[in-house]
Structure 1
Amino acid sequence: MEATFFWLNEPKAWSGDARRLALRTDGATDFWRKTFYGFERDSGHAFLTPVEGDFTASVTVSGRYEELYDQAGLMLRLDAANWIKCGIEFTDRLMHFSVVVTRGISDWSVIPLHGVSPEAPLSVRLTRHDDAVRVQFRFGDTPWQMARLCPFPTASAFVGVTACSPEREGFEAVFSDFEVGPPIARALHD
């Protein structure tokens, strides 16, 4: 049976489906709750499907990262107050692998990606094992690198791709090879 997808904040310009999706962001789009900046935003674009129990979701993403906070990657979402977004985010004139975990309030962690071309496609993988989520990334066929291991509820949720551009409209992102399947092995070190 094929997965059912829906838009949370559908962008005006998009084409494709879960296997290959291209979009152009609307203006002032973001997901954030309270911490540091004090504001709450739930206006980012997300193309989501329901998930239960343990799983691994992955996607390859490329984008035209040019303006502060342009971002694209994966999202795991329970509701507006409980979610994770992870992928590339453009900040300080550099691409970063970014993870935001939100449990009522948002935190933010980044890994600077020095020497990585803004056009380089990135693969993102998110795995839920019981009440823990592991976030990983890689470029090309390089080994998966862990970016985050965090607690997260085991409740029914939604997973899919997300893109935001808080400072402008028109950020272009392309997602390919999105998959959801059984969780990868629990071993953290290959």
Structure 2
Amino acid sequence: MSFTSIPWNLGSWSNDPKSVRFEGNTLLVEAAEGSDYWEKTLYQFQHDNGHALLTPWEDTDGVEVSFKLNSLTELYDQAGIMLWYSPTQWIKAGIEMNDDIPHLGAVVTNEYSDWSLSPVPDWAGGMVTLRASRLNDAVIIRARTEEHPWRTIRVARFPFTSGKKAGPFLCAPTRSRFQVAFSHWLSTKPDEDLHIDPPIVNLND
């Protein structure tokens, strides 16, 4: 599968993280304590101080973000991919710690947030890849690890044909010193069909 690596310095942070540094091609990011994205539902609070590294996202591209899960250890530690249109219209999808177990999930927000999640205890400590691709008026979000095949997380309405952005994100709602090692940020061909898994990118190509 053809792909293009998106340079880390091409993106702009929605909110500056506590620290950013590089180890080779790996981006190491430390989240600010109390950072999160959420709009009103259930808790009534509005949080918009999470950290998303965003570039413009076109319908002609799928987007993939990869990172290590070994640093996600505390309640609500989270990282993955952010799809952004406006402060009240966005989707974050990835891994979030809940009750000491990593969960694969998504928060879809249109004025109000919802939350769907599924436990993936056998993914703990691995390298996970999140993928987003638009098809018609919707976005297809998938995830895999190096040991597990693509798994569809969510099909959600995301009808915006222009002005949208995408990229890696992380949040640390409950603690300090949460750091994520992002290894890849790729632009690929978009999904052809909901029921056909996209090819796995061979980074040695």
Alpha-carbon distance in structure 2 between the residues aligned to 1:183 and 1:153: 15
Corresponding residue number in structure 1 for 2:190: 183
What TM-score results when the alignment is normalised by the length of structure 2? Answer: 0.85
Aligned ranges for residues 66-105 of structure 1 at < 5 Å?
66-105=73-112
Alpha-carbon distance in structure 1 between the residues aligned to 2:145 and 2:100: 20
Q: For the Cα contact (< 8 Å) 2:37–2:50, is it kept in 1?
A: yes
Alpha-carbon distance in structure 2 between the residues aligned to 1:26 and 1:170: 8
Structure 2 spans left out of the alignment, 5+ residues: 198-205
Q: For the Cα contact (< 8 Å) 2:59–2:133, is it kept in 1?
A: no
Matched, 1:48 2:54: yes
Matched, 1:142 2:148: yes
Q: For the Cα contact (< 8 Å) 2:123–2:145, is it kept in 1?
A: no
Q: Aligned in 2, Cα 1:141/1:93: closer, same or farther, shift over 3 Å?
A: closer
Matched, 1:156 2:163: yes
Q: Aligned in 2, Cα 1:56/1:141: closer, same or farther, shift over 3 Å?
A: farther
Corresponding residue number in structure 1 for 2:32: 26
Corresponding residue number in structure 2 for 1:168: 175
Corresponding residue number in structure 2 for 1:124: 130
1:131-173 Cα shifts (integer Å, max 9, x gaps):
1001111110532110111111223211000000100121110
Matched, 1:110 2:117: yes
Q: For the Cα contact (< 8 Å) 1:14–1:23, is it kept in 2?
A: yes
Alpha-carbon distance in structure 2 between the residues aligned to 1:81 and 1:153: 14
Runs of 4+ in structure 1 over 4 Å off: none
Structure 1 spans left out of the alignment, 5+ residues: none
Matched, 1:15 2:4: no
Q: Give SS of 2:117's match.
A: strand
Amino acid at match of 1:8: S
The CA deviation at 1:59 is 1.5
The CA deviation at 1:51 is 1.4
1:48-81 Cα shifts (integer Å, max 9, x gaps):
1011234210011114112110000000001110
Q: For the Cα contact (< 8 Å) 1:54–1:129, is it kept in 2?
A: no
What TM-score results when the alignment is normalised by the length of structure 1? Answer: 0.92
Alpha-carbon distance in structure 2 between the residues aligned to 1:189 and 1:11: 36
Q: For the Cα contact (< 8 Å) 2:134–2:191, is it kept in 1?
A: no
The CA deviation at 1:14 is 0.9
Amino acid at match of 2:13: W
Q: Aligned in 2, Cα 1:173/1:129: closer, same or farther, shift over 3 Å?
A: same
Alpha-carbon distance in structure 2 between the residues aligned to 1:66 and 1:185: 36
